[in-house]
């Protein structure tokens, strides 16, 4: 692999409470246990790309607190080169409830992540070339995303945007590959909840001249090609915790694209990695290594296309 993946994104400390059942409006539930993990969509995707085998650099912001140092240490342990600005705001946090079947509720407290500005982009994107890939999510301010995409595109680098959490009116002009789940696809396109996400993905791809990859949870994932949509199945697995599975998918997809894989092969690898991630608890702790995938005994579901 000649280039590197530059992740410009969020870093959060994940505070996780496992519960038998997610609460409904007005209900109080008692946690079965409580854990603290390194997280944040940016950091998770950086770790996924590193465990997939890519050289990775991470640009972001953390607080001048012990959590900021903890986040940096976790990334450096993965061999990730970090350029993290320490800012006078608390390190980002996510409060996560995980139900026994793996479903979750997440509340984000952006903190230092929202202190990133367009002033960080010139230094952050320094050294990017056409051999490299810029990977971003939407836990940083939108103007930062827009400026970075423009900077990277001008240098010929490939730009992959994971539109999570979703937002309307995204700056897509400099994006090559957009990764969304079904809900995010509809929100990005400003479509109602009952619209067909894959039909909308095809329209988004055509309108913006990019490839859209839609994750479909247990059903696998789809990608747009030549005006149509190609769907790939997922292996059948027992879900324990879906937190970070999407980030695992995106980090593996970006690495495979950097490595020159076709969209089909990259999506297939990303599906396999995400499927394995849901079988373990936590975001970063559940991200598989490339060697776990090849040794994995999970079976492709027969008959699905
Ligand atoms: O995608 C999972 C991540 O979303 C968690 O790690 C949490 O920090 C939130 O950003």
pLDDT digits (tens, 9 = 90+) for 109-125: 999 999 999 999 999 99
Q: Choose the residue to mutate in 7, 9, 12 for probing ligand 1, maximizing ligand atoms within 8 Å of C-beta.
A: 12
Whether residue 71 is predicted with pLDDT greater than 70 in this model: the reply is yes
Long-range contacts of 67-71 (CB under 8 A, 24+ apart): 67/13, 67/91, 67/93, 68/112, 70/13, 70/38, 71/11, 71/13, 71/38, 71/40, 71/43
Whether residue 304 is predicted with pLDDT greater than 80 in this model: the reply is no
Whether residue 266 is predicted with pLDDT greater than 70 in this model: the reply is yes
Whether residue 3 is predicted with pLDDT greater than 90 in this model: the reply is yes
Nearest to 235 by CA among 181, 296, 166: 296
User: Which residue has a Cα nearest atom 6 of ligand 1?
Assistant: 39
Cα-to-centroid distance, 41 and ligand 1 (Å): 5
pLDDT, average across residues 187-212: 97
Nearest to 41 by CA among 91, 7, 85, 81: 7
Cα-to-centroid distance, 215 and ligand 1 (Å): 16
Q: What is the pLDDT of residues 142-182, one digit of tens each?
A: 999 999 999 999 999 999 999 999 998 899 999 999 999 99
Helices (H), 157-262: 182-189, 197-208, 245-258
Share of the chain above pLDDT 90, in %: 90
Q: Which domains does the chain have, with CATH numbers?
A: 5-11+41-91+113-304 (3.40.1190.20)
Burial call 212-225: b when 16+ CB within 10 Å, e when fewer: bbbbbbebbbbbbe
Residues within a 6 A CB radius of ligand 1: 10, 12, 14, 39-41, 44, 94, 106, 108, 139, 243-244, 246-247, 283
* pLDDT at residue 103, rounded to an integer: 86
Comparison of pLDDT for 281 and 131, the residue scoring more: 131
Which residue numbers are catalytic?
Answer: 247
Determine if residue 217 is left, alpha or beta; phi over 0 gives left, psi from -120 to 50 gives alpha, anything else beta. left
Burial call 121-137: b when 16+ CB within 10 Å, e when fewer: beebbeebeeebbbbbb
CA of residue 97 relative to chain centroid, distance: 19
Closest ligand 1 atom, residue 283 Cα? 6
Closest ligand 1 atom, residue 96 Cα? 7
Q: What is the pLDDT of residues 239-249, one digit of tens each?
A: 888 899 999 99
Q: What is the pLDDT of residues 215-263, one digit of tens each?
A: 999 999 999 999 999 999 999 999 888 899 999 999 999 999 999 999 9
**Straight-line distance from the first to the last Cα atom of the chain, in angstroms, rounded to the nearest whole number:** 30
* pLDDT at residue 134, rounded to an integer: 98
Q: What is the pLDDT of residues 12-43, one digit of tens each?
A: 999 999 999 999 999 999 999 999 999 999 99
User: Which residue has a Cα nearest atom 1 of ligand 1?
Assistant: 244
Closest ligand 1 atom, residue 246 Cα? 1
pLDDT band at 88 (very low <50, low <70, confident <90, very high): very high
User: Which residue has a Cα nearest atom 8 of ligand 1?
Assistant: 40
Cα-to-centroid distance, 235 and ligand 1 (Å): 23
* pLDDT at residue 101, rounded to an integer: 86
User: Which residue has a Cα nearest atom 10 of ligand 1?
Assistant: 40
Whether residue 61 is predicted with pLDDT greater than 90 in this model: the reply is yes
Determine if residue 260 is left, alpha or beta; phi over 0 gives left, psi from -120 to 50 gives alpha, anything else beta. left
* pLDDT at residue 303, rounded to an integer: 28
Whether residue 295 is predicted with pLDDT greater than 70 in this model: the reply is no
* pLDDT at residue 142, rounded to an integer: 96
Closest ligand 1 atom, residue 92 Cα? 8
pLDDT, average across residues 129-148: 97
Rg of the chain in Å (alpha carbons): 18
User: Which residue has a Cα nearest atom 2 of ligand 1?
Assistant: 244
Q: Choose the residue to mutate in 40, 114, 247 for probing ligand 1, maximizing ligand atoms within 8 Å of C-beta.
A: 40
């Amino acid at each position: 692999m000649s280039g590197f993946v530059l992740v410009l994104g969020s870093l959060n400390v994940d505070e996780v409470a496992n519960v038998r059942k997610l609460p409904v409006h007005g209900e109080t539930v008692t946690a079965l246990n409580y854990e603290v993990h390194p997280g944040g969509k940016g950091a998770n995707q950086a770790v996924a790309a590193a465990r997939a085998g890519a050289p990775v650099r991470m640009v972001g912001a953390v607080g001048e607190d012990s959590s900021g140092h903890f986040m940096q240490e976790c990334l450096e342990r993965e061999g990730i080169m970090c350029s993290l600005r320490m800012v006078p705001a608390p390190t980002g946090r996510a409060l996560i409830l995980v139900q026994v079947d793996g479903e979750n509720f997440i509340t984000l407290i952006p903190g230092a992540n929202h202190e990133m500005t367009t002033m960080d982009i010139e230094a952050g994107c320094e050294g990017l070339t056409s051999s490299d890939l810029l990977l971003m999510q939407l836990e940083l301010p939108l103007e930062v995303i827009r400026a970075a995409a423009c900077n990277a595109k001008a240098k010929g680098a490939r730009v992959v945007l994971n539109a999570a959490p979703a937002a309307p009116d995204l700056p897509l002009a400099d994006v090559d590959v957009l990764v969304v789940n079904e809900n995010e696809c509809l929100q990005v396109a400003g479509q109602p909840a009952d619209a067909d996400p894959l039909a909308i993905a095809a329209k988004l791809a055509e309108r913006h001249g990019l490839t859209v990859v839609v994750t479909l949870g247990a059903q696998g994932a789809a990608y747009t090609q030549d005006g149509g949509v190609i769907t790939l199945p997922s292996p059948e697995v027992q879900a324990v915790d879906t937190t970070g599975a999407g980030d695992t998918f995106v980090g593996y997809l970006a690495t495979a694209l950097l490595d020159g894989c076709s969209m089909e092969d990259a999506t297939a690898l990303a599906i396999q990695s995400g499927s394995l991630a849901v079988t373990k608890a936590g975001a970063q702790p559940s991200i598989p290594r490339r060697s776990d995938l090849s040794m994995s005994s999970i079976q492709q579901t027969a008959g699905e296309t």
